[in-house]
Amino acid sequence: MSLHKFVLVPILVFFSSQFLLAGQITLQNGDRLSGVIEKSDDKSLVIKTDYAGEVIVQLSAIKAIESDKPLHVGLKDGQTVVGLVKTTDDKLQVVPASGAPVEVSTGTISKIRSEEEAAADKKMEHPGWLQAWSGGLTTGFAMTRGNSETKNLGLAFTADRKTLHDHLGLYQTSVFAANDAPGAIPSTTANSNQGGARYDHDLGARTFSFTGADFQSDDLQGLDLRSVFSGGIGFHLIKRERTTLDLLSGLNYTRESYSTIQRNLIALTLGEEFMKKIGASTVLTQKLYAYPDINEGGQYRTTFNFATVTKLSKWLGWQNSFADTYVTNPPLGARQNDIILTTGLNIAFTR
């Protein structure tokens, strides 16, 4: 055998074996993607390729799946089957390390996980209180000197701890702005703060209970402190890894302390929350709540929050957030709307 053939044969064998050992999905149009099959829900599948990174494919576009490594196939009845996977017609054949192959209908599958993803799910069942956290801090600062003398600072903080059945969320948003020009009235042009926490616990596959506390102050509206304590029931209208839509309803007790008046009230809590992951780097969140006053008919308060975070690196991103609070009956001289807009660099963390 010549030297070039002696060198070429092992190379061909190596690359052929790499191809054969790769997991593979075949699309309805005949195209094939090879790589590591990582996970799926009831709508889409994630496969990690060497040439394009993680690729998300809609299940409706997939004709066949064949894995080179064992996968954990979760069924809607709560069972899990583990083994090599290949599709036959409209069924999935799971071949365990020992025992006979198992065939399951694709309509009964709730999720698919690789060994690594299944281990991560297992870890999320009962993590310690200092584990399973993710979030970020956004900061923005601007200052002018010369013809104008102003400064403003915006801060936004979020932290979430999600397990398989619980969710604890914390948030804080602050905006401060001042006009430092001599004799400027008012010298403080904005000083608003919002913050709070909410805990959710799953009652079933789609329903959950929630309890929360929210706090707000706004110097220019004369609001020293608004405290809202709420609780109720929620429903996961959409619950997928990349898209969620929750509906919530319940009651809340609100205590408002303005510079001129104080009032306590019982109100309904009606809300919806939406989350969408766009591509591999951007997350969009939106929340809309209405709090109709039970004590005084026709009076209510609404809150609207919208935010996007675009990942620039593993720990750095760009965040934009918008918050609007509307009150039908503010104190005399105060406006009904309060708007907070922050934008800046987001420093992300996970634990």
Which range, of 12-16, 39-43, 129-133, 190-194, averages the lowest pLDDT?
Answer: 12-16
Which residue do the tokens 């600062």 mark? Answer: 141
CA quadruple 50, 53, 54, 56: dihedral positive or negative? negative
> Residue 62 belongs to a domain with what CATH number?
2.30.30.100
The pLDDT value recorded for residue 14 is 39
Q: Are 265 and 285 in contact (CB under 8 A)?
A: no
Residue 128 domain flag: no
188 and 295 both lie in a single domain = yes
C-beta of residue 94 within 8 angstroms of C-beta of residue 84 = yes
Residue 174, pLDDT above cutoff 60: yes
Average pLDDT over residues 228-241: 93
**How many C-alpha atoms does 226 have within 13 Å on its Cβ side?**
21
Q: What per-residue confidence (pLDDT) applies to 13?
A: 41
The reply to whether 86 and 197 lie within a common domain is no
Query: Is 49 domain-assigned?
Result: yes
- Among 97, 123, 149, which residue terminates a domain? 123
Whether omega before 182 lies within 30 degrees of 0, making that bond cis, reads: no
Angle at 135 between CA 129 and CA 139, to 5 degrees: 135
271 pLDDT band, cuts 50/70/90, is very high
Question: Do residues 170 and 52 both lie within one domain?
Answer: no
Query: Is the pTM above the cut of 0.75?
Result: no
Q: What is the CATH number of the domain that holds 342?
A: 2.40.160.40
Q: Same domain for 205 and 289?
A: yes
User: Per-residue pLDDT for 215 more than 90?
Assistant: yes
Residues 73, 182, single domain; the answer is no
Tell me: pLDDT of 43 over 60: yes
Mean predicted confidence (pLDDT) in 107-129: 81
Same-domain check for residues 171 and 288: yes
pLDDT one-digit tens code per residue, 330-339 = 887 778 888 8
Contact predicate 58/92, CB 8 Å: no
- Mind listing the pLDDT tens digit for each residue in 285-306? 999 999 999 988 889 999 999 9
Query: pLDDT averaged over the chain?
Result: 85
Instruction: Using the 3D structure, point to which of 123, 152, 182 is the last residue of a domain.
Output: 123
Least confident of 19-28, 76-85, 180-189: 19-28
Determine the pLDDT at residue 22: 67
| Residue 260 shares a structural domain with residue 140 | yes
* DSSP SS3 for 246: strand
Residue 93 domain boundaries: 3-123
Q: How confident is the model at residue 139 (pLDDT cuts 50, 70, 90)?
A: confident
Same domain, yes or no, for 288 and 344? yes
Do residues 323 and 305 both lie within one domain? yes
Same domain, 142 and 119: no
Domain final position from 64, 94, 123: 123
Measured distance CA(232)–CA(248) in Å, rounded: 7
Whether 152 and 81 map to the same domain: the answer is no
Nearest to 104 by CA among 72, 68, 60: 72
Determine, yes or no, domain membership for 73: yes
Total tally of structural domains belonging to the chain: 2
State the residue for tokens 């660099």: 345
The answer as to whether 289 is a domain residue is yes
102, 186: one domain: no
pLDDT of residue 5: 44
> How far is residue 308's CA from residue 281's CA, in Å, rounded to a whole number?
10
H-run or E-run covering 121: helix 115-123
3-class SS at 85? strand
Range 85-110 average pLDDT? 83
